[in-house]
Amino acid sequence: MFSSQKWKTVDKGMARLPGAFKPIVGDDLKYYRKIQKVDYLPHGNKVQISWKNHYTDCEFQKAAYDHTFIAVPFTVVRKWKLPEFSPTLGHAISLLMYQSACKVALEFKSRFWEHLDRPIFGSCNTKTDIPGLGDICYPGFNLNSTGPAVVLGSYNKDDYGERWVSTPEDEHAQYVLEGLVQLHGEVAREEYTGRLKRLCWIGEESNAGGSWAFPSVGQHELYILAYFSTENNIIFIGEHTSYTHSWTSALESAVRGSVQLLLEFGLVDEAKEITRKWMGKWITV
């Protein structure tokens, strides 16, 4: 994404990707339901999910389904009221470790970094020994263009991913600017437009403080098998339930979950077809 390779993205924002499913799936697709509770209903052999339209509501809204995929990070799920799971799966939901990330983006009047003695044309590889600055990323698209551009002046994934939250956003951004001045000289201060944006995932409700799963020693080996068993008609998917972690792992887990559901119904051939088509087995290396 930040390399100088060809820049590709979803025009007008990633939110258009899930939005594109709406015309195909129609009214079966419901957005903005903040699930807070999941029950297994043994009489009907169904899963009931519950949410509130507003957090001050006393009553839950409810819907029941034969099976449910839960693709929400465990940092969020562990706050829900849940049915009883096997001890291993229950532990995974409650205890799986996550890592937090924090980014600060600063806008500059021009791409001065592309005109230095040693120019930088897009990368995320610049590191310094300035404490808490982390990686610095320069845009890898619209190279050599004129007009304002944004630098990811600080990208922290370690302890600083959480620690910076206690510093006010403007003060944090100023610290990042001073770091860039130290690195590139006063040109950075002169070119800064004053426009900034900080995003620390620990403050993001939909992640509940985690950016991605980061199992502690032994957790992966202990928990991974539990994700492959369907309990209470619920199948957990998402990057945290995959062998590896990152967005491709989220996709992989969706394929695994689909196969798992088909096998629940004894649809072996259909499960094999999903694996053949979507697990990239047709790719030759």
Residues within the interface to ligand FAD (CB under 6 A)? 34-35, 71-73, 76, 101, 201, 206-207, 211-212, 238-239, 245-248, 250
Half-sphere exposure of residue 174: CA atoms within 13 angstroms, side-chain side: 5
Alpha-carbon span 201 to 104, nearest angstrom: 12
- Select the residue whose beta carbon is closest to ligand FAD and give its number: 246
Minimum distance from CB of 94 to ligand FAD (Å)? 16
Pick between residue 47 and residue 76 the one whose CB is nearest to ligand FAD.
76
Pick between residue 53 and residue 206 the one whose CB is nearest to ligand FAD.
206
H or E segment and range at residue 197: strand 192-200
* Two tokens, residue 141: 């698209």
Alpha-carbon span 80 to 64, nearest angstrom: 16
Minimum distance from CB of 204 to ligand FAD (Å)? 8
Cβ 157 vs Cβ 134: under 8 Å: yes
Minimum distance from CB of 93 to ligand FAD (Å)? 14
Minimum distance from CB of 9 to ligand FAD (Å)? 13
Pick between residue 101 and residue 177 the one whose CB is nearest to ligand FAD.
101
Pick between residue 232 and residue 253 the one whose CB is nearest to ligand FAD.
253
Pick between residue 73 and residue 215 the one whose CB is nearest to ligand FAD.
73
Half-sphere exposure of residue 163: CA atoms within 13 angstroms, side-chain side: 10
Minimum distance from CB of 247 to ligand FAD (Å)? 4
Minimum distance from CB of 71 to ligand FAD (Å)? 5
The CB-based long-range contact list for 36-41 (8 Å cut-off, 24+ gap) reads 36/60, 36/79, 36/80, 36/81, 37/80, 37/81, 37/82, 38/68, 38/70, 38/80, 38/81, 38/82, 38/83, 38/234, 39/81, 39/83, 40/83, 40/232, 40/233, 40/234
Pick between residue 35 and residue 143 the one whose CB is nearest to ligand FAD.
35
